[in-house]
Structure 1
Amino acid sequence: MNRQSRFLTYITIGLTLITSLTACNEDRVVLSNGSGFMTLGITCDPTAIAPDGSEIELFNPTDSQCSVSISDVDGIYSHTWESAADFPQIERYLEGTYDITVSYSSLEVEGIRSPCYMGTARVVVSSGETTRAAVTATLSNVPVRFITSDAFNSEFPSATLLLHTPGGSYIEVTSENQVAFMRPGNIAAYLSIALDNGKELVINPITIPAAKARYVYDLEFDYDKDSRVLSVEYNGAETQVRKSILIDEHIADSPSPTIMPIGFVPDSPISVTEGFYPSSGIGMDISTPSELSSLTLSINAPSLREASLPSETDLLNADSETLAKLSSAGLDIAGITPTGGLIEFNNLISSLVYRPGADNRSVFTIIATDIYGLSSAPVSLMVNTEEAKLDIQSVSRVEVGDPSVTLTIDAENISEQNCYAEISTDDGRHWEKTDILDITLNEEGLHEVAFAIPSGTATLSLRIVYCGQVRDTISIKRHSPAYSIEVDAFARVARIRIIPNDPELLSMITEYASIFISDTELPIISRDIENGYIMVMGLSSSTTYNFRSTIMTQPDENDFTSPVPATTEGTPSLPNCDFEDTKESIKYDDLPSGGRYSQNSVAIFNRQNFTTYHLSTPVKGWANTNAKTFCRGASNKNTWYMQPSVFSVTDAANGAYGVKLTSVGYDLNGPEIQPYLQESKPYTDYSKNIPEISHRAAGKLFLGEYSFNPESGEEVYKEGISFNARPLSLNGYYRFIPATNSRDERALIKVEVLGVHNGEETVLACKEYLLAFASGYTAFSVPIDYPVFGAKASSIRVMFSSSAKYGSIEQEDAGVALYFDPQTATATGNQLWVDNITLGY
């Protein structure tokens, strides 16, 4: 949140309050709206603590030379003024706690006349109050002075002191009038002197450990020419250390380690575009006559800090983990040993990254020290990292289904191997690298780059990553390809047909399309992606809707197809679907049951069994085949030849009645049944003679009409009733017991819906459904599918059959299974009970 938006919320309130205050008895304006005023007072303390404990005054910056930063502790608001003079002294802030920092220069800047001052304060802004924030900035770095005796100056008039903190530069101090300002911590002091023999000697006589900010440290050097002893001591207010070094013949005459720069001039920056290698090899060749004790690398490279590289490393004594980090960053130190070797920087330089608004100069410094304490002069490689230009100029239009997007990119000095793109489909929460498919250069000299994109309809985020840094991010909105829809409305569902302008996109559009009525998205039951159909639910019967479609996940109005009006069908039921309406249709008293038989083994045939039938069947549109199986026109009337195959029973799933269907044998011209003579005890109360029966039939109950001509033996089915809806299922309850001698038998349900298609009546849907053994009433559901799009129903056929081997008289004679039972004098097979039939919409 920027400063302006933080404050503007209250401008209107403030103006109203100020306008209404015609007179005030106090200097402050009292507020009561959750905000208050803040003023700032800055003091710079220019003093430092000298070695004797006294305070000495150094440079005192003015307020305008200091910067001010303010932020709230919640992390919502922050702002920086480069000059404290620009800080608004009467400004309104929301009540809360704020941290204020005042600074001059930076601790990262070391050198002569480079003091750094810093101060912080935490203030609480209260509602209706004016808060005074007072911040005192004090010296944050370490002043170091180079003090030499007359004897030292006489012997070494051109001596130079090099001061170094880990990861920092080597700061030259040449006179007592100079004060070097260094970072707190360990400060190594290297002395560079010229000996009588002309040798340039660099030694590290002393290191100031844990130097404290604001404390002055004097490094005092003396030399006794007679004893050739160089003495040095550092004095601070809290510490004093003295050391001596004998400049003997061995030190005076032994060559020091040397570092030869390769491909660059020390302290003269080279410029390299980020992601590229230098035009020539860059390195440092270390040589030494004596074995090295240390080889210290200092790194001051802001773009490498994220790699967690140490700011300073002794390459000869570092642990393997540290050396592996340096190697991974690109520094080639494989050839380094205590006897010297070559350090190559090319790979490391190519990993440097330009950072807008930051210091893009990197410094790599090496200093070598041998086992006798002789050091090389430090050699610094300075690299200015230049920005590689990479700007996205335009993005191609992307339609859903497109496998790629083309970006027009203005790119200069780009290393392709360091450039790639990442894509997010969830508003930048997760990113995945994507492939570059093609790169061409257009007439304007811009790069046309094609990137692979994932399938889907969501808006994409694409970002260009160069040298591991995100350079540009864009949003890619996918557009819907042109298509329209047609609607086939059922009662509570609808089938939508997708009609794309480009037939090649049919499957893709069907896969992603959503269906709406007004602004409400409908639940999807199924998708036929190959053929372009979508089945939706959530509709009410006999209702007109406007259907429209989109394939976009966050659509606007332009992403929808044109609305298509459609009216859903009604939800009619089948007539007498619970079979409660019945009519007595079979009444026959004393029908002979089997043949005559004797009472015992005497051939007197004076016994005859009879059966009486008073049976009802469902009415109101339901027909059956009893006219055939229980034909009163049979020439030999007997239960062997006359059997009812369909009748109502009180064994019901719901209500008073169900219907039982039985496979039976029948014969219109059954032969005479020979009398039966009992052979021996035990004697039976029925005839065991079983006649030949000509026909077999499945018990069938169906919607429509049925007639049978006993003289010709022909039957006529007029199946179906008028019906103006298309149910999706036929449901109900059944029991089924297969024939005693054929347990693998199945019963059957057949459903057909008819309608007019292309000017002719045709079957719109047909389903046969087999029923297996069920000792008690069991639910069934027969799904009904409609392959013909848009054709409306005109009639429906529903048939229940006790045998799956139904058909013509000849087909049933050949296929229906029967069991011949002389005790009941019947030939029967499968038994099917059905009840409570409903239609699902």
Structure 2
Amino acid sequence: MIEYGLGKIMALWICVLGVLICASSCDSDRVLADGIGKLRLSLSADTTSLNKGINNSTKAAVSDEFEKFLTTADYKIRIVQQSDTVQSYDRFDEMPSEIELKEGAYTLIASKGDNLPSAFENPYFEGSTDFTVKAGMSTPIDVICTLGNARITVDYTEDFKEAYSDYTVLLSSAFTSGSLEIKKDETRPAYMQVAKEGSELGIAIRLKKITEDKEKTYKIPTPLSIERRQNIRLIFKTDGEALDGIGLEIILDDEMTNVTLNEGIPDFMWKPFEKPTLSPDDFTNGESFTIKVGKFEKSPTVGFAMPAGIASLCVKQWREDKENEEITYDLATDEGVTAALGKNFKWSVNGKANTNVKGERKTGQLFLKDAINSLEAPIEEDQTYTYHYEFSGVDATGKAHTTNVLGVTVVVQPAGQPIITFDGFPEATIIEGDDMSKEQLATFDAEGLIDATKTTLTINDGTEDKVYHIMTNASALSNDWGISVESNSTANAIVKFPKDFSSRLEAPQEGSRTYTYTLHLEDKNGRNYQMEKTLIVKAPVFELAPSDNGGDVFARRAILRAVMSVGHKERLSFQYKKANATNWENVTNQLKQTDNVHFVDTLKGLQALSDYDIRVVYKGVKYRMSDPIRLSTEDEQSLSNGDFEGDWSSKTISGLINGANIFVSRVTLTSNEPVGWSSVNAKTFSNKSNISSTYNTVPSTMKVDGKTGFGVRLRTVGWDNSAGNTATICYHASAGKLFLGSYSFDHSNNSEMYNYGLPFTARPSSVRAQYKYTPYSGDSFKAWAIILNKENGIETELGRGQLIKGDALSNWTELTFPIIYTNLTKKATHMYIVFSSSANCSENESTESDKLKELLDKGTEVDGYTHHEGSNLYIDEVELIYE
């Protein structure tokens, strides 16, 4: 054992680190020599199975087995060129992040574990990829390692364990020299080596019956093809397909394959067979039925139990007056199956219907009703036909164990006239694409048996007849028209018109089309019955309804209108596209019906100042559409000075207030049109010469710090232009108002004049702003917006929005209220927005003396003076929203 002192170890590490640093520095500065490239490897592991069946993972089931393989640090790495190992690393974490290789083609193999031919608890993971190195280039590769062998487990059903006292499964492959033995109590998974292209797995079982001392070995005749990464489960059983022999279910991941070890009855069955028997149900042996063909309602059934399997199952039939024409149908032969089905016999065994029963075991049933209802009947009224049936079987033991024999007699009465029962369609007229209100059945009854060559359904669509033989052309009738045919015997048939069959019927481009259905029934005696029914299909009638003066089209949305006099709302919709686009898009909002014929939808998400084509479509059998109409969207006009960073004026009142920042009303120099925001300061903040107190020098609208930059403070104030007031008396009260428009006030008679509105040609959908509010005595503030049309001396309100709130807010908060348009016949010419510190005043008056005076704090000190003051509203960042 070699020992080092601490100082020597540290000195050694310093030397090593120095060498590494120098090497790294030299490497980073060195230019690769000609013909040399670099490789960078990213390595991961995937523990999921091959997933040949449904998408499932073995990870949950074998997490303990595979957990360590998710860690890639200890994977071995080999780089191979033409079967020669160029470089190798015992651990991935010891491999440099980049390695140099000569220019050329290589294969990288990463692995973990031992790839043994066969072993228990021995998963082996591997991943490989081919890559090419080019001179002077760095090549990155990703390798994912997965299970490189196959995982195999063995289970046994409970009845198998009861039948055998000892058993061992034997597995072999081309890689093994012998067999891997999995004994009955073994629970560990076995792992088998698998070639890259797959391998064949030999399966055998060595077992001993409970009643015997001698073991026997049975081998699966065909090897099982397996692949790498598969999770294979073998389940041995005794019942199922092999009954009392041996059966095997193989589950490859989640895909199950059933394999039977024996052919016929094996010699190692562990219990004797019971005697094969036939049993009558809904009739007694030898019973006689008297019937009218097609009208027999009983359901006689022959049950058969043959535990040893079926060698033959025979039906013998003869008519009393034609004993030389005796016929036998053996359901264990293909010929007998075809003949019996032609006579409308039905049977079932082991979940299989109407197939060859040879070798089938356990129990089954033979159904007689449809065969009896298909017997030929006499025409003469005084004549009957008597038919005899005899049923028997032999099992497959090879010892010719026969069943008991059952018999039944059927007396067939004379055939009546054929008849079709059909009430016609529940609606005489429909619109194209409509379903019927209920399913309708046309019943064909022929006691003389249906003549399949002459019984037809003829459909005329107004231009031509299409003839279908219902007994032989049922599939074509279903494919063409959605009409189905059901028939259990040659005496009866049902033509079914489902509710949705009518949705296939087309109308002309305009008007209606009449479909005629001719039902013709003929029996084998030449007698017939015929009826005719009609169904009228109307074309839908609809069109776009353009709005007056384009008032339905906003900046980002449009109201779409349609008129439909014939049709259904659920099939009507709108489509749109930009004027220069090719493809139409569906309007996905909710279509609304305003009355019997008018329909409205809203198209959102448009762009301002753009052209769009609009059309209305109707989805029936055909895709019908109107002629398009072109719409032009409005501009998104912005709000001037909504951030309140401009248009401030100062006003000085000698001896009272110097340079107060307030809003004053402004108008253009050439007209009386207002150009911006206004307030009622002209009323509450006066510089008249007769003012002798401070109670009428209170600005109600002032400049303050806003959410960003400047904002506006609106306050409810008391004022008076009369001398002699005291601090506790208030003769007048007004709400602070901020609005788009102009304002004037006459102090001589206390009269005011509002001129709301600025020129504005857009129609916003809502107003948004930032606000704070300090209410007094339960007051609320109010905000509203009005969109107007002023033309020819007439003012028309187009839309309005309003908000009233009373909660106290000390922090800036967003408010939004929508504008509801009630008049879409005109375009906008003017718009105004109003903010009021109190909701207790009308739109055209800021003074409500009695109510507002109750909402004032008498004698409040504000701005260094004693005033009467109520609620305070702060507003900033007012903007218009378009959507």
* TM-score range for the pair, normalised by the shorter chain length: 0.3 to 0.5
Higher Rg of the two aligned structures: 1
